[in-house]
């Protein structure tokens, strides 16, 4: 039973890291575009979105820590 729980948790974490990866990729690409176009509004929107990315990262790290104790 514990092995099944761990497997489910690992699969969940793999999905979450893919989501986080997409968010970071979007932020990087958007930053490049905002810089190339000198688009201040786009840069400000991306900067505001960084809070969401950081929140997701912290959530992911906490999930990893709790998984370690399984």
Per residue in 1-33, pLDDT tens?
588 889 999 999 999 999 999 999 999 999 999
Confidence (pLDDT) at 9:
94
Q: Collect all residues with Cβ–Cβ distance below 8 Å to 35 and sequence separation of at least 6.
A: 43
Predicted TM-score of the model (pTM): 0.80
Residues 6 or more apart whose Cβ sits within 8 Å of residue 70? 2, 5, 6, 9
- Around 36, how many Cα atoms within 13 Å sit in the side-chain half-sphere? 6
User: How high does pLDDT run on average in the chain?
Assistant: 92
User: What does the pLDDT read at residue 70?
Assistant: 65
């Amino acid at each position: 039973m514990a092995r099944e729980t761990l497997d489910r948790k690992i699969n969940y974490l793999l999905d979450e890291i893919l989501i986080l990866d997409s968010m970071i990729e979007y932020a990087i690409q958007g930053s490049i575009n905002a810089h190339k176009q000198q688009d201040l509004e786009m840069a400000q929107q991306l900067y505001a979105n960084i809070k969401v990315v950081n929140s997701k990262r912290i959530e992911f790290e906490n999930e990893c820590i709790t998984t370690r104790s399984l």
